[in-house]
Amino acid sequence: MADDRLLMRALAGETLPVPPVWMMRQAGRYLPEYRATRAQAGDFLSLCYTPELAAEVTLQPIRRYGFDAAILFADILLVPQALGADLWFVTGEGPRLSTVTGPGDFKALKPAGAIHDRLGPIYETVRLLRRDLPAEVPLIGFAGAPWTVATYMIAGRGTPDQGPAHALKSSDRATFTALIDRLTEATTEYLLAQIAAGAEVVKLFDSWAGSLKGDDFDDFALAPAKRIIAALKAAHPDVPAIAFPRQGGAKLDGFAAATGADCLALDTEVDTDWAARVLQPQSCVQGNLDPQLLVEGGQRLIDETRRIRDAFSGGPHIFNLGHGITPDADPAHVDVMLKALRG
């Protein structure tokens, strides 16, 4: 039986009069109710690993805004932690990890199949959400793509240019490639477990894909995504996959077909006219409002929301941001966006 929920219809390739809408990082620091729950948890990792609280923050934007999808609240760096990396968060600065910079560090990592004990609470969050979400709201599971996660594992933190990962790729390609392979295997395991727990769609976030050039993009962004999606489809052919190779530029052309993704998420730099002409005939597209407009508000937010909606009105489209909503966004501006989108 066909799934008549708006998100699932768009992912199946249907052109809709008004696109379904959700937002990257829709459960987050811009919401006062999130901040209250985060304070209750005590720290960010405790929030991720406490299923009742993680489910609560996932549900908060659904209650407030009536989005057409919920996305699991977790973090892309839980996978390296489950592989044995030390992980902690520094207030005001972000994540820190123990590093993988050579063969010895890599050998200390656990096998991909050993991640589930650590990640059990995440799967329980998925189960709680499937119980508590409104029937019309699909649940999106997610993971970080291997390249993006590797950049954090190699540097021990986020970096502006992913320089340490590029350096290891050049100086010790064997260790670098082994790390990408391990993360590809672990990410597949993680997403399969999310689906088994109840995730109905999966998304692969490759936030730093744009810093890979030429063959490196094909080898370390496209190829791992293809492997992951193929494994997911082999086990669950009816579960759609969304790929987000951020700042992939011209490399986005053909990415969905090459990887098997049902939908291609677009960052803010992607020209909507080009995407509608070149990418949308290949797959559903998702995006790509500038998150800064949810800080700014006003007529420009209304105009851009309508412009993006209209630009993609000729094919399957999921309205979203071109990157995650920022902590300084005004929650009232989200209502303005939704009113402009839905008319």
DSSP class per residue in 63-109: HHH--S-EE----TTHHHHHTT--EEEETTTEEEE----SHHHHHTS
Q: Which of 30, 34, 123, 152 is catalytic?
A: 152
Q: Which of 3, 5, 29, 219 is catalytic?
A: 29
Q: Which of 9, 30, 68, 75 is catalytic?
A: 75
What's the rounded Cα separation, in Å, for the pair 90 and 25? Answer: 19
29 in catalytic set: yes
CB–CB of 287/320 below 8 Å? yes
By the 10 Å C-beta count (0-12 exposed, 13-18 middle, 19+ buried), 127 is classed as: middle
Q: Which of 38, 227, 246, 309 is catalytic?
A: 38
Q: Which of 25, 182, 227, 309 is catalytic?
A: 25
Question: 36: how many CB neighbours lie within 10 A of its CB?
Answer: 12
Torsion angle of the four alpha carbons 178, 106, 160, 119, in this order, in degrees rounded to the nearest 10: 90
In the block, tokens 């005001």 appear at 92
CB–CB of 331/297 below 8 Å? no
25 in catalytic set: yes
By the 10 Å C-beta count (0-12 exposed, 13-18 middle, 19+ buried), 330 is classed as: middle
What's the rounded Cα separation, in Å, for the pair 300 and 145? Answer: 33
152 in catalytic set: yes
- Residues labelled as active-site residues: 25, 29, 38, 75, 152
